[in-house]
Structure 1
Amino acid sequence: MRKLQIILLLSLTSICLQADGAGDHITQLKARCVEANSIQEEVEAMLDLAKYYREILYENTRADSVYDEVFGKLTTSIDYKLKFHAYKHFLDYIPIKYETPECRIACEQIIEVIDDNEREGIYFEAHLAVGKASLKLGDIDQALKHAIKASDWSQSQGNASQKIKSKFLLGEIKTVEGEIEEAFRYFMEARVLMEILTEEEISRYVYDHHGLLFQLYQSIKNYNSAQKHKVEQIKWAEAQNPVDSTVLMFHKLDLAGLFVVSKNPTSLDPLFDEITAYAKQTHNIKLKGYSLSLYRTWLIDSSQLIDLKNLMKEHYPEEIKSNWQNSILAHVYEGEGKMDSSEYYFRLDEASVLSTKNNFLKAHFYHRFGHHFLRRSKLDQAKVQFQNSAKYAKQTKGGEDLYIDAMQQLEMIALSKNDYKQAYKFAQVSDSILMEQFDIQHRNNISEMRVKSEEERERVIAERKVEEKKKKFQRQYFFIVILVLLGLLVLVVISSMSVPEWLIEMIAFFSILSVFEFVVLLMDAPIKAYTDGEPLKNFAIKMIIFSILFPLHHLIESSVTTYLKKNKLLASHKSFSFKRLLGTIWPWLKDKTEKGLKS
């Protein structure tokens, strides 16, 4: 029942996305272009139109044509900021591996704007944009070059936000290169820098931080950690006001994809319900296309070929007409037991796949074609397909799993024909690659352990610093207590002797003042905790305290002086002798003092 609901919802989504909603929005955007009163307004409207084509309708060709028109209008413009904005807008929204002449032109033009005008205000953002775009296009060397330039600039300017952005990009590049430890180091350095930013800025960067860690953990197949960081990103997106629902849905689509890849489809149904309903409501063809593709993958991987047939033939007949859907039909007919029709569509798909330059796509196709013949017990034909799969998988990065599966299937076929020598050869190849993958995974695990160990070390160091600081403060408090008690002791001792009035007033003033200051010092932390550090509240409370302590200080000081006068304990300046005072305090000096006075 649940699968039927999803299939019906996807079909309704397909129909609704062809309704007038998308067309009306395009008409409004085009009207903005016509009604613009300046080149800036016209360019902004055209950029919004291009973004809508690219991000919502998934029509990259139309988006490129709009961008071409924008670039043409800016050819003779002297407004470097507008040029920079347009080219950066294009680079920000290019799809991954989307290599077109416009991409190269945009990168060159942005750098030209910097070099010709030496605009410091856009230097960092320009190199960052080109670095990100180069990474999307798979040009790692170019991405690293511009990321380093952006990082050097941020260091020279001492700008924390720029430092964080550049470290994020460097970490992302290292993730793609497979240097997990380096990537973690950049991400952790960025996380430390966040502490000096405002709360709002920290929130945004923490969101980006979770997204980058999601990519990193997914790249090393640590799906539990990847899921944790993606869930944190989703929580952040849901907490925004207003909520960007499109961004939120794509995050949930990422989570659904993670469940499919990790062979954990139990949580997929509610996600697909929500995503497809939103795609229907907003006419988002890109979201619809991605969710449909992911749903098909789930059905194929879980061998639900009848559900796949119902979905494609009854609700998406227009999708089947394109050549690249022949593989889907091949699986559908195989599920129905129509093997000849299944092989026919596999052959059609083979011609289409071989016309591309994508070796991974070719390896994946022959992998599925080989399993098709295995299920039909046609071992010779299956052997040919797995050999083709191994050939193309060996030539592409990321094809190791397909290559291993091909070798294992060839080993099984050789064993079934009692060709033990050939089977041993295939087994050696697959085992060596498995060991290599184990070593890579082992190194990745070690890298994670090192990172966690470093984090733990930093935590211990931080705790030690806090503890040392606490002990230092305790020693200072103890020293202050001794000083206060010593002042009171001196006051008591001096009060028992005949001393000048000015001396007793001075000692009484500082002794009593130190007591009250110590009281205020002890109350300072509770006051700040109560007021949450608000200066106005701190000022008001301390004013109240001082208004009580000040007259009390004056009263005590006056009382001490009055008492001493009343009891005739104060001496005149003429009768006061400092040596006699020392003799009173230290009796062993008394004899020497009296002799000195007589002489």
Structure 2
Amino acid sequence: MRSVFRASPFYSCCFFLLLITGFQPAAAQQTQVTDSLHKLYQKSTDLPEKARLAGELSQIFMAIDTLRSEQWGNQAIEDAELSRNRKAMFKSQLDNGIRLAYLATRKGYNTKALEYMDNAFRMAKENKLEKEQAESLLWKAYVYRNNSEIDQAFTQTTQALTLAQSAGNDSLLAACYFSFSECHKEKGEKLQMLKNVFEALSVAENINNHALLRNGYLQLAEFYKSVKNYDKALDYAFRVLDLDTHSNSDESKYGRTHVYNSIAIIYQLKKNYSMAESFFNKSILYADTIQFQPLKMQGYMGLMNLYIDNKNPVKALDFFNTKQDLKQSIAGYGMSSVIDQAYALIYSRLNKLDSASYYYARCLPFFENNVNPASKLNFYYYYAEHLMQKADKTAAIAIYQKGKQIADATKNLDWMRIYSRLLDSSYSMTGNYAQALYYNKLYNRYKDSLDKLGKEDEILLLQISDEEKRQDRLAAAEKEKLEKRNRIQYMSIIIAIAALFLLLVLLGLLRVSATTIRIFGFFAFLMFFEFIFLVFKKGIYGITKGEPWKDLAMMILIAAILVPLHHWIEHKVIHYLSSQHMLKLRDNSKAWWNRISKRGEPVA
């Protein structure tokens, strides 16, 4: 979702909120699930199993109570250590890293997550566990990407790919391609991103892995959203929704709220606010349906973003004030400053500058010291905007300078352009035209680069369209080739059946045993009626649509007609051919022909 926030700054008011309420399958549970797992943990006497259950509980509580999450994480490590099972010891370290990676936007969590993952990797390497090594490297790549360290993410993913290939694990191979695609997306290399998504999807389709297919379609939706082809993005998002509707998997059950929110955001970018609001509400209602309240938070924040984007800060404030469960959930993460940030932005939009200043002063230390670069870029943008509203241009310029330094360090071209433009206009207002000119030149340079990328996007879309047409042509040609082959096979079967029946008739004209005729008749009629059954079976798909009970009913009906008919006709024909009637017919025909021939002979 980061690319959305970069392209659309209005999202950044709640960027951090969306991240902390973003869906993670293991972190979207509630009390009944934790109670169930706790009971299983107490009953179990197997230490590796206890470590696994404690690890799951540590991740679940990350969305509910971070202190209890820490306790269960430590318990998982203790149980694994006592078991001396190397895979359990690896997993306990990785599980702790994963639970902290859910909040990798915060510096402290980011560092601790990497420490646990490094421990997991070392343990896997020492015990020559290639699959486990690759898993830990991919999670490290995830954390590095969230911290805008893309080169490090590339390095980790490359190492994971080598291990996945060595282990011959297709699921891990697809996961590596997905990780590469995310890295290329962060660097703005969209063609490479797309190629890696297609590689991953190819592997996922070959092994029919639902989770990987789902991830691939979501990434394609994100890609088309990034190039502003919103209808194509919606096509893939709805494809994921269709997968989720027909699946009972955990990722589909708990991930559907994320899909609803993704669809809502695409509609919001299309300025179709009514559809966006509808899908945010669908997300909230679905969370209620499956009785997992933490999943409602993403929908709540989506609605608040929507109201702000639609220039309705009053509605945003009323909405935020009524959602006490949302604020309690955020505070439970130790992130009350994010609530202050939201209030600061809303009051700034309402032009209540003193109230906005109060809340900005409260949350400023947190964002200065505890969040990653991407979150700082968003925060500084709105904080400086507020200072400009207050006519404190000097303070605003200082904040813009901080944002520009972070944008330069992370090589984020969008933000480099935005902050250069803001510094240009700010210095112009203060009469410092030399600095204004300097930043104006930078702005135009970055703008030209982005315009070039925009043209590359257009070329890329044309390339994709051409490739899709080429693939359609290849698919049509392959379909025609298959149909032609099938037609030839059907014709060959018909000729073979006709030849068998011709041979059967000829046998009836010759003096062969009744047993021989019965054997040939059995195979001839068997082949004939099985062929009819095959034709009917292919034809009934249009009626049954592949539903098992309908298929069964239709096959019973066809069998009820064909089986008695088969036996009756076979009995009659074989009886006729084997009862010398054909021989008598042959002899009578021969005598008749002889008489005709003699009539035509001349008299001597």
Normalised to the residue count of structure 2, the TM-score between the two structures is: 0.69
Q: 1:134 aligns with which of 141, 145, 153?
A: 141
- Which of 439-448 and 102-111 deviates more? 102-111
- Which of 509-518 and 182-191 deviates more? 509-518
RMSD: 5.0
Q: 1:334 to 1:179 in 2, by over 3 A?
A: closer
Does structure 2 retain, via aligned residues, the 8 Å contact 1:151–1:167? no
Indicate the structure (1 or 2) with the bigger Cα radius of gyration: 1
Aligned residues: 531
CA offsets, 1:188-212, max 9 Å, x none? Answer: 4554556666xxx565554333223
Pairing 1:248–2:256 present = yes
CA offsets, 1:244-299, max 9 Å, x none? Answer: 75433333334444455665543344445455567679886743554454444444
Q: 1:148 to 1:180 in 2, by over 3 A?
A: farther
Does structure 2 retain, via aligned residues, the 8 Å contact 1:333–1:339? yes
Does structure 1 retain, via aligned residues, the 8 Å contact 2:134–2:163? yes
Q: Distance in 1 between matches of 2:356 and 2:434?
A: 34
Q: 1:73 aligns with which of 76, 79, 84?
A: 79
* Partner of residue 194, structure 2: 184
Q: 1:502 to 1:190 in 2, by over 3 A?
A: farther
Q: Distance in 2 between matches of 1:163 and 1:44?
A: 24
- Which of 453-462 and 312-321 deviates more? 312-321
Pairing 1:555–2:589 present = no
Q: Distance in 2 between matches of 1:101 and 1:385?
A: 29
Shift of 1:375: 3.4
Q: Distance in 1 between matches of 2:37 and 2:492?
A: 73
Q: 1:169 to 1:552 in 2, by over 3 A?
A: farther
Q: Distance in 2 between matches of 1:24 and 1:309?
A: 33
Q: Distance in 2 between matches of 1:283 and 1:324?
A: 26
Q: Residue 168 of structure 2 aligns to a residue in which SS?
A: helix
Q: Distance in 2 between matches of 1:390 and 1:426?
A: 11
Q: 1:218 to 1:466 in 2, by over 3 A?
A: closer
- Equivalences for residues 214-363 of structure 1 within 5 A: 214-240=221-247, 246-259=254-267, 264-273=272-281, 275-276=283-284, 286-287=294-295, 289-310=297-318, 322-334=336-348, 337-343=351-357, 345-356=359-370, 358-363=372-377
Does structure 2 retain, via aligned residues, the 8 Å contact 1:329–1:342? yes
Does structure 2 retain, via aligned residues, the 8 Å contact 1:140–1:173? yes
Shift of 1:131: 1.8
Q: 1:510 to 1:436 in 2, by over 3 A?
A: farther
Structure 2 residue runs without a partner (length 5+): 1-28, 146-152, 542-550, 593-604
Shift of 1:224: 3.5
Shift of 1:150: 1.5
Q: 1:25 to 1:456 in 2, by over 3 A?
A: closer
Q: Distance in 2 between matches of 1:270 and 1:360?
A: 29
- Equivalences for residues 519-558 of structure 1 within 5 A: 523=532, 525-529=534-538, 547=567, 548-549=569-570, 551-552=572-573, 555-556=576-577, 558=580
Q: 1:259 to 1:60 in 2, by over 3 A?
A: farther
Does structure 1 retain, via aligned residues, the 8 Å contact 2:157–2:176? no
Pairing 1:438–2:463 present = no
* Partner of residue 365, structure 1: 379
Q: Residue 221 of structure 2 aligns to a residue in which SS?
A: helix
Shift of 1:145: 1.5
Task: Provide the identity percentage.
Answer: 15
Q: Distance in 1 between matches of 2:238 and 2:122?
A: 37
Shift of 1:53: 0.7
Q: Distance in 1 between matches of 2:510 and 2:484?
A: 41
Pairing 1:39–2:47 present = yes
* Partner of residue 213, structure 1: 220
Does structure 2 retain, via aligned residues, the 8 Å contact 1:88–1:126? no
Q: Distance in 2 between matches of 1:517 and 1:28?
A: 58
Q: 1:564 aligns with which of 586, 593, 596?
A: 586
Shift of 1:71: 1.0
Does structure 1 retain, via aligned residues, the 8 Å contact 2:343–2:356? yes
Q: Distance in 1 between matches of 2:313 and 2:489?
A: 76
Shift of 1:413: 4.6
- AA in 1 matched with 2:256: L
Shift of 1:331: 3.7
Q: Distance in 1 between matches of 2:426 and 2:467?
A: 49
Shift of 1:132: 4.0
- AA in 1 matched with 2:190: I
Does structure 1 retain, via aligned residues, the 8 Å contact 2:134–2:160? yes
Does structure 2 retain, via aligned residues, the 8 Å contact 1:305–1:331? no
Shift of 1:177: 5.0
Does structure 1 retain, via aligned residues, the 8 Å contact 2:257–2:284? no
Structure 1 residue runs without a partner (length 5+): 1-20, 571-599
Q: 1:189 to 1:472 in 2, by over 3 A?
A: same
Does structure 2 retain, via aligned residues, the 8 Å contact 1:491–1:508? yes
- AA in 1 matched with 2:583: T
Q: Distance in 2 between matches of 1:30 and 1:477?
A: 61
Pairing 1:401–2:417 present = no
CA offsets, 1:61-90, max 9 Å, x none? Answer: 532332122112222423345445545544
Shift of 1:460: 2.0
Q: Distance in 2 between matches of 1:427 and 1:143?
A: 38
Does structure 2 retain, via aligned residues, the 8 Å contact 1:390–1:403? yes
* Partner of residue 64, structure 1: 70
Shift of 1:447: 3.5
* Partner of residue 584, structure 1: none
Shift of 1:436: 1.5
Q: 1:555 to 1:132 in 2, by over 3 A?
A: farther
